[in-house]
């Protein structure tokens, strides 16, 4: 990928807001011809700047009313402990996000579940059962003030 100029940034901003835009609209709003828009999007796809296009769904309508932020501390940080924990994270779609952090906790997880019971069940069944997990602190999300996928570009 070459340098990313202003016109490409405009396309990217539009696409991360709505990738179902027709090429004609995209071009118009991006202030360029359809051919140029097409070529730039091709490049962005090929270069992997556009990683993927996904549909964002409404959690409430799909009965996932609960969202939890959990902070996890492992017992030790040996290869095996980390791999074991990673595997739990990978294999459970309820864990939507997981970041290794600096600071007081090793990991931060964002977890979705239908309700407190099923969260509790998932937790005890899969996370707390893992021998390397020393500590989990769960905070319930009271309100989603912002949940954007748009990078600040």
Partner DNA sequence: CACCGATTGATCAATTTCTTTCATGAACTC
Partner DNA sequence: GAGTTCATGAAAGAAATTGATCAATCGGTG
Among 14, 16, 29, 34, binds DNA (CB under 7 A): 34
Pattern of binders to DNA over 40-79, x per CB under 7 A? xxx-------------------------------------
Q: Is the dihedral of CA 43, 47, 49, 52 positive or negative?
A: positive
Binding partner of residue 130 among DNA, a copy of itself, none, CB under 5 to 8 Å per kind? Answer: none
Stretch that binds DNA, among 22-30, 75-83, 91-99, 108-116 (CB under 7 A): 22-30
- Residue numbers at the binding site for a copy of itself (CB under 8 A): 1, 4, 12, 15-20, 47-59, 61-62, 64, 67, 69, 86, 89-90, 92-105, 107-108, 112-113, 137-153
The H or E element containing residue 104 is none
Task: Please answer whether residues 14 and 43 qualify as being in contact, where contact means their C-beta atoms are separated by less than 8 angstroms.
Answer: no
16 binds DNA (CB under 7 A): no
3-class secondary-structure state, position 49: coil
Terminal-to-terminal C-alpha distance of the chain = 16
Task: Please answer whether residues 87 and 126 qualify as being in contact, where contact means their C-beta atoms are separated by less than 8 angstroms.
Answer: no
Tokens of 24: 């004609």
Binding site for DNA (CB under 7 A): 2, 5, 7, 22-24, 32-36, 38-42
């Amino acid at each position: 990928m070459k340098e990313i100029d202003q016109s490409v940034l405009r396309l990217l901003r539009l696409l991360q807001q709505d990738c179902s835009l027709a090429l004609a609209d995209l071009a118009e709003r991006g202030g360029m011809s359809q051919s140029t828009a097409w070529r730039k999007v091709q490049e962005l796809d090929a270069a992997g700047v556009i990683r993927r296009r996904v549909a964002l769904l409404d959690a409430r309508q799909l009965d996932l009313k609960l969202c939890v932020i959990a902070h996890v501390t492992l017992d030790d940080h040996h290869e095996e402990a980390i791999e074991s924990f990673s595997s739990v994270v990978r294999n459970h779609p309820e864990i939507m996000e997981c970041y290794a952090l600096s600071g007081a906790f090793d990991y931060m997880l964002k977890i979705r579940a239908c309700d407190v019971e099923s969260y509790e069940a998932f937790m005890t069944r899969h996370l707390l059962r893992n021998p390397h997990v020393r500590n989990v602190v769960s905070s319930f999300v009271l309100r989603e003030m912002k949940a954007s996928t748009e990078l600040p570009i």
